[in-house]
Amino acid sequence: MSDLQTLHSTDWGHVDTAARNRVLRNTYWLLALSLLPTVLGAWLGVATGITRSLSGGVGLIVFMAGAFGFMFAIEKTKNSAAGVPVLLAFTFFMGLMLSRMIAMVLGFKNGSELIMTAFAGTAGVFFVMASLASTIKRDLSGMSKWLMVGALAIMIGGIINVFVGSTVGMMVISVMAIGIFSAYMLYDLKQIIDGGETNYISATLALYLDIFNVFQSLLALLGIMGGEKD
């Protein structure tokens, strides 16, 4: 390889690394920002009880329509100035949808402690997955199809359990979701670090969904197993 070729290769390697670091940095910033509308939506839902009537099939339809509608809009606007506001509107919606479960957990004597435990547990999972993603050298792209199958199984199981209302079923689904979406977190972070994901809005959406599902599942599990009634 000539000196010119070597220099050219080195420059491109530097640019590539800089671009990946920029995507990762922007993703972390936007992910942190996205938690604010989520908290606001959850607080508003608990304070007003606006989602109290969204139970059973009605709640499922509203959630599915809203979530998939927003995700479609985010995909369409991710390369424009509207991408960030649409993503933040989605996280507000998700906080609103989460408020019903939070209100139920707050009905326990130790509800606040359970919420903080779920938050701390989710933060711990993220820290571990981020550490693993930065140290694992192996390509993890092969995980995607298995994770997708797992996520679909959880979604189908969750839909069925909405109508069945099984506590044991809810526990099984929650444990599965914690495992699958923790692995998804590792996969999505590795994709960003390796340059497989170059759009920070798409990257933020993926990680947000991972975090949301782990937190919601932990909270459901803690509520079932550790909720103390007055």
Q: Minimum mean pLDDT among 20-24, 29-33, 226-230: which range? A: 226-230
First-last CA distance in the chain? 75
Predicted local confidence at residue 84, as pLDDT:
95
Predicted local confidence at residue 9, as pLDDT:
42
Predicted local confidence at residue 77, as pLDDT:
94
Alpha carbons within 13 angstroms on the beta-carbon side of residue 28 total 11
In this predicted structure, the answer to whether residue 8 has a pLDDT above a threshold of 80 is no
Average confidence (pLDDT) over 118-138: 92
Average confidence (pLDDT) over 189-218: 92
Q: In which element (H, E) is residue 104 found?
A: helix 83-106
Q: What pTM value is reported for the model?
A: 0.88
Rounded CA-CA distance 206/188 in Å is 7
Average confidence (pLDDT) over 75-92: 94
In this predicted structure, the answer to whether residue 163 has a pLDDT above a threshold of 50 is yes
Residue 95 tokens read as 């906080």
Name residue 213's amino acid: N
Predicted local confidence at residue 15, as pLDDT:
44
Q: pLDDT: is 229 or 170 the higher one?
A: 170
225, exposed or middle or buried, with CB in 10 Å at 0-12, 13-18, 19+? Answer: exposed
Q: pLDDT: is 6 or 143 the higher one?
A: 143
Q: What is the mean pLDDT of the chain?
A: 86
Rounded CA-CA distance 201/89 in Å is 13
Q: Which of 30, 96, 103, 27 is nearest to 66 (CA)?
A: 96
Average confidence (pLDDT) over 29-37: 95
- Please spell the DSSP secondary structure of 44-99, one letter per residue: HHHHH-TTTT--HHHHHHHHHHHHHHHHHHHHHHTTSTTHHHHHHHHHHHHHHHHH
Average confidence (pLDDT) over 108-112: 88
Q: Cα–chain-centroid distance for residue 122?
A: 10
Predicted local confidence at residue 40, as pLDDT:
96
Predicted local confidence at residue 138, as pLDDT:
83
Average confidence (pLDDT) over 12-33: 80
